[in-house]
Amino acid sequence: MKLSARNVLKGKVKKIFTGAVNSEILVELPGGAEITSIITKQSAENLKLKEGKDVYAIIKASNVIIGIE
């Protein structure tokens, strides 16, 4: 697999929350940090995602927004 994204984090699916259209995928990274991705329900099914499966969280963003109170 070759990607243009520079941030590729390997982890395991910890939990899947399936909705009518989208699925929320909770990925546990080595060391215990967690990251959440929202993908279509169809994509989750096509990837055959299930708890415990090894996955990659791939982050490609050109903007990071910072806010304060």
What pLDDT was estimated at residue 5? 82
- Domains delineated in the chain: 7-59 (2.40.50.100)
Question: Taking the chain, what is the end-to-end CA distance rounded to the nearest angstrom?
Answer: 41
Q: CA 15, 61, 55: angle at the middle one, nearest 5?
A: 30
User: Would you say 17 and 37 are in contact if contact means Cβ atoms under 8 Å apart?
Assistant: no
Longest dimension (CA), the chain: 41
What pLDDT was estimated at residue 50? 97
Give the model confidence (pLDDT) of 5-63 as tens digits. 888 999 999 999 999 999 999 999 999 999 999 999 999 999 999 999 999 999 887 77
What pLDDT was estimated at residue 57? 94
Report which of 50, 56, 46 is spatially closest to residue 3, judged by C-alpha positions: 56
What pLDDT was estimated at residue 68? 87
